[in-house]
Amino acid sequence: MKVYDISREVFSARVYPGDPEPRTTPVYRLEQGDLCNVTALSLGSHTGTHMDAPSHFVPGGKTIDQVELSRCVGPCQVAEAHGPLTAQWVEERLRLGSPRLLLKGQGEVTLEAAEKMGELGLLLLGVEDYTVGTTRTGPQVHRALLTKEVAILEALDLSQVEPGEYLLAAQPLKYGGLDGAQVRPVLLDLQ
């Protein structure tokens, strides 16, 4: 069995324009005579590889601690994607049977593709960019997916992964009441 870490390192990952930059502050340090090392963190809920909760764009939507973990763990398809995705492209991929889809490359999730994903019951969508859609279409694409409770996994690193079928484990941190959280997802190649 091969395990692929498909996350990005938090402090060196790109940050969405306007989001807070991640920072660390030493609280206790062994070299200063303290009993242990402890570090305070300051970062946005969408820093690094992260999952969007419905409440990120849907008023009254579920928060990250309410996302069903069954959406985050299970069979997954990695598909190469470039350019704008169509509803037909989505139908062809989801016909293969995997309820979770990770997009490798620069595939643009269009509103049409997002609506088709929600309609066909996709559980989770992952992308390598730090957001789905474009600057212009991102809010609509997020709403189309999140109103159907499709878990959105963003800022993945699929550079070492070939397209194909895998087992995904991508549980978000349990931040009570928040709109998103960091994830360290792994893909398992069981062959």
C-alpha–C-alpha distance, residues 149 and 71, integer Å: 9
Is 46 part of the annotated catalytic residue set?
A: no
3 state DSSP class of 1? coil
Q: Which of 141, 91, 95, 93 is nearest to 116 (CA)?
A: 91
- Note the maximum CA span of the chain: 62
Q: What are phi and psi of 170, to 5 degrees?
A: -145, 60
Task: Please identify which of the residues 50, 56, 82, 142 carries the catalytic annotation.
Answer: 56
Spatial CB neighbours of 32, under 8 Å, sequence gap ≥ 6: none
C-alpha–C-alpha distance, residues 122 and 146, integer Å: 11
C-alpha–C-alpha distance, residues 110 and 86, integer Å: 7
C-alpha–C-alpha distance, residues 178 and 47, integer Å: 13
Q: What are phi and psi of 173, to 5 degrees?
A: -60, 150
Which residues belong to the active site? Answer: 56
